[in-house]
Structure 1
Amino acid sequence: MENIAFFTNFLKISQGITLVSIFVLLGSLYFLKVLQKKKVSFSTRMLIALVLGLVLGLGIDLFGSTQGVHYTQFAQKEITVWFSLLGSGVLKLIQLLAVPIVFLSIVDIVTQVKGENIKSLSIKAFTMLLGTTAISALVAVGVVELLQLSASGFAGELTKSTADRMQTIASQSFPQFFLDLIPNNIFSVMTTNSQIVSVVIVGTLVAGAIRFLNQKNPEVIQPAVSVLMALKEIVNSMLKTVLKWMPYGIVALVSSTIIRNGVSVISSTFSFIVGLYIAVFIMLGIYAIILAVNGLNPITFYKKAFSTMVFAFSSRSSVGTLPYTLNTLEEQMGVSKQNARFIATLGTTIGMNGCAGVFPAMLGVLLAKATGQTLDVSFIVTLILVVTIGSVGIAGVPGTATVAATVTLNGLGLGSYMNQIGAVFGIDPIVDMGRTMLNVTGALLSSVIVDKWENKIDLETYHK
């Protein structure tokens, strides 16, 4: 059937392994449905879905690799397309809600909170988000040195799309990079998840106008406020419906990520993957210390954060995970709605410890070593500063780390050596899962800690 366009181009089922894989996926979904009917907890089903996705992806790719060109030229792409129908479909529904949730949350927060409280809250939020990013960069330096990683094994040409994107970013000055975050079209801002910083800016301007008009002419502005608050309730209701599909989407998302990249490609950059995940788990340990120092039980935090972390890992989108992040903070961790929505929203664009912290810092150290630079205190301090400042305004969507890496490497004067680590970008989805999980966990941590500093967290709910 591989010679018939109907099967290869339209139906995307020209190989027996494609059909078998689809049936195996359906079987996995049925198993999860049975668990749901048996009242198995949501977090447990999320973990089972993650394991099923890993097993399914590895099993199909390992078996498919024995089928030669029938798999690599046809079945691999076909399976990825069919699995993405479910996985990416669920993720798109989550992302559909991200922009309205960010906008309505910012409007709600700024209109309700007193001006002096916003200033204090912003300082504390930036301290946590950027402070943990600086720590993550330092951890990345330590991991590269500990494992003695070098760029020699990761050389390779960048794909044209990646190279073009990096070239566009590299051509911008640092001030121009931030200037481009300021929106000039309110409609385009509301139609793309990659402009979350712009959404925050628009939301803040709208909320500021509402605050001003509430003092001057409250009768006129109140109907508009009521409409916005009603929209927020509608979006929250939609969110609860979509979240029920998450375990099913995770199976397809994780397995398709592995199948799309292939086990052989993953093995060629295994040392870098291991290094990055070691850095991720070290940061998770540091989060636990921060929680303990602030009088909060880290075990309780991770138990309640677990299902959110699993979804972030599978979806590879901090923005896509935002609705679930907010739900976890408010419903399970006892964080006040005001602080949860303000800090977690900022966390999708500022101080992402994985994509804008660990990853670009590791690449910076690798290229510095490859070009003969000395990793002295001066270089490390410069690296941490560049990574931390560059993490401001990086949107939390798949591909974000490419932007963060480009900004960091150009800031260090190493942008022209990108091809020496080109192979790393070839396995980006694999490392992106860990990076995104760290991004979201860092946002959860910052929200909890700042709420604790503000004495607003419901400790009874947190420890329940």
Structure 2
Amino acid sequence: MRRIPFAVQVLAALVVGVALGIVARQLGGTAEDPNWLALTLDTVGSTFVTLLRTIVPPLIVLAVISSIANLRNTANAARLAGQTLLWFAITALIAVGIGIGLGRLFQPGVNADVDAGAAQAPDAGSQGSWLAFLESLVPTNFLGVTAETSEEAGSLATSLDFNALQLIVIAIAIGIAAVRVGSAAEPFLAFTRSALTVVLKVLWWVIRLAPLGTVGLLGNAVYSYGWTTVGALGQFALAIYTGLALVLFVVYPVLARLHGLSPLKYFTGVWPAVQLGFVSRSSMGTMPVTQRVAETNFGVPRHYSSFAVPFGATTKMDGCAAIYPAIAAIFVSQFYGVPLGLTDYLLIVFVSVIGSAATAGTTGATVMLTLTLSTVGLPLEGVGLLLAVDPILDMGRTAVNVAGQAFVPALVAKRERIMDVARFHAPRGLGGFVAPDSGEELRADAERTAADAAESEARTDAADGDEAPGGHGTAAAPAGRAAP
């Protein structure tokens, strides 16, 4: 298999997955009693996503702590964080504007042929609210773990999950505390960097399974939903995918070109994350690959990408939190005959730009949709009308989400002159990584980690020297001391 380029393996997996999904549909079966092929595809796909999600919590904690430790030597750390939030908001604003425009153009609620009897509000656990979002920022325990008990086959079963937002809050607090402690925290930071290298090694083993996981995920999606499910909601689905295509193929490329970056290199570089996001329908599950894309293909320094990508995976949702809720809100208003005024559209924009963190990178966008509908005052029962096509739409939404989560760090890195532009434009195969697909790449990444902080500081000092009167920059402070 090593003789076959990784990108070719992924492309072949897409074709095989669709073919096996079609075969599984021909074999018959139901959702409650699937045939052997459908069950196999589901098991393979879900196992791959589980492996990715398993590696996410330690990756978030270790990467964020290490990035904060590296950013202490970077004079413009606060500016990097501010620029990241700014461009998250700018691209979300553009995306929600496109969504509102397409909703008015396609009139999906007027042209829908769905039974009003299907309308039902989601359960309370899937509904979003501003209070619940604010409460979710406060860690409930040190590990950011949540437990849910349900009754299965007459017995109680407890499942554990993690809250990505809480993990980031915990990691930021620990990272800042380590920096403030000073030299006494150096052994802890050295351990964190070493542990991160080990986790990245394990991550690469999981990534190597991506072709197999793609076969299972896409095959199961074709079997479970097909493309005939769109049916009466064709106009709505068409409006969603048109908006997603405009953001992915127009907005991002135009912004890249305006900043001197090749749109083609962007597409070929972000492809591993996009294809995995499309089939897995999980930004958090795709986050390790998204971060690898940002660092390896886009030349974003690790000390910045390890902060920006995990943060983006929980808050940067142009598909789920901008385009989709905007068009869905217009659909519900048209279906129920509730007119929307200028204030309502402004509220939709506000929720999309500010409240996207409510999705928390999980599969589906029901939380964000209910948050939007409740803010505008539309009936939550309209959510039930859209559930039939949600899995199909979620594929495209997640693909655009992860594309933006890799693009914004690259854009900010280019604007702040910390991007390795040569790596961004380096030759690579369609959908492949710049460096060879082997463990050697991870070792090279580990070696770059130690040099990232010094490289960023040197570039920052050089930039300060260019801008300061007389061409003299501020001298770097000795280790362990803050610059004046």
TM-score, normalised to structure 1, is: 0.82
Match of residue 163 from structure 1: 123
* 1:42 and 2:6 matched: yes
Give the alignment partner of residue 142 of structure 2, picking from 162, 186, 189: 186
Structure 2 match to 1:118: 77
The size of the alignment, in residue pairs, is 411
Distance change (3 Å), C-alpha of 1:232 and 1:301: same
Amino acid at match of 2:175: A
Q: Percent identity?
A: 24
Map Cα deviations across residues 71-128 of structure 1 (whole Å, 9 max, x no partner).
3376536544321211111111111111111111110111221386332111111111
Pair 157,335 (structure 1): closer, same or farther in 2 beyond 3 Å: farther
Q: Within 1, Cα distance between the matches of 2:20 and 2:229?
A: 17
Query: Which stretch has the larger CA shift, 442-451 or 41-50?
Result: 41-50
Q: Distance in 1 between matches of 2:358 and 2:20?
A: 36
Q: Tell me the amino acid that sits aligned with residue 367 of structure 2.
A: V
Q: Which amino acid aligns with 1:238?
A: V
Q: Does 1:108 align with 2:76?
A: no
Residue 281 of structure 1 corresponds to 245
Which residue matches 1:342? 307
Report if the CA contact (8 A) 2:299-2:423 is conserved: yes
What's the CA shift string for 1:127-147, capped at 9, x where partnerless? 111221121111111222222
Q: CA deviation at 1:269?
A: 3.0
**Cα deviation, residue 443, structure 1:** 0.8
* Mapped contact 1:181–1:393 kept (Cα < 8 A): no
RMSD in angstroms over aligned alpha carbons?
A: 2.4
2:389 is matched with 427
Contact 2:277 2:286 in 1 (8 A): yes
| SS of corresponding position for 1:391 | helix
After superposition, the C-alpha distances for 1:134-164 in whole angstroms (9 at most, x for unaligned) are 2111111122222221164345667999434
Secondary structure of 2:137's counterpart equals: coil
Work out the CA distance in 1 between the residues paired with 2:89 and 2:359. Answer: 12
Whole-angstrom CA distance in 1 between matches of 2:297 and 2:216: 27
In structure 2, the residue matched to 1:153 is 113
Structure 1 residue ranges without an equivalent (≥5): 1-35
Q: Secondary structure at the match of 2:229?
A: helix
For 2:39, which of 81, 84, 90 is the aligned residue?
81
Letter in 1 for 2:404: G
What is residue 359 of structure 2 aligned with on the other side? 394
Partner of 1:367: 332
Which is further off, 445-454 or 43-52?
43-52
Alpha-carbon distance in structure 2 between the residues aligned to 1:411 and 1:48:
44
Question: 1:307, CA displacement in angstroms?
Answer: 1.9
Residue of structure 1 equivalent to 2:280:
315
The match for 1:197 is 165
Output the CA distance in 2 between the equivalents of 1:242 and 1:176.
Answer: 34
Structure 1 CA distance for aligned equivalents of residues 30 and 180 of structure 2? 61
Q: Which of 164, 172, 181 is 1:213 aligned to?
A: 181
> 1:44 & 1:355 partners in 2: Cα distance?
29
Counterpart for residue 135 of structure 1: 94
Match of 1:3 in 2: none
Change (3 A) 1:459 1:262: closer
List per-residue Cα deviations over 1:417-447 (Å, max 9, x = no partner).
Answer: 2333523223322111101001000111101
Q: Deviations over 1:315-344 (max 9, x none)?
A: 111111111111111112111112212111
Within 2, Cα distance between the matches of 1:276 and 1:430? Answer: 11
Distance change (3 Å), C-alpha of 1:162 and 1:56 = farther
Shift of 1:211: 0.7
Distance 1:318 1:456, change over 3 A: same
Match of 1:267 in 2: 231
Q: Does 1:355 align with 2:314?
A: no
- Cα 1:55–1:141 change in 2 (3 A) is farther
Match of 2:477 in 1: none
8 Å CA contact 2:321, 2:359 repeated in 1: yes
The alpha-carbon distance between structure 1 residues 194 and 137, as it changes in their structure 2 partners (threshold 3 A), is: farther
Partner SS state of residue 315, structure 2: coil
Runs of 5+ unmatched residues, structure 2: 148-159, 427-484
- The 8 Å contact of residues 93 and 242 in structure 1, kept in 2 or not, is answered as yes
Which digits, 9 at most, give the CA deviation of each residue in 1:265-318, with x for residues without a partner? 333433322221111100011110000111111111101111221011111111
Moved more, 117-126 or 72-81: 72-81
Aligned match of 2:20: 56
Question: C-alpha displacement at 1:407, in angstroms?
Answer: 1.0
Corresponding residue for 1:451?
Answer: 413
Which letter does structure 2 place at the counterpart of 1:389?
A: I
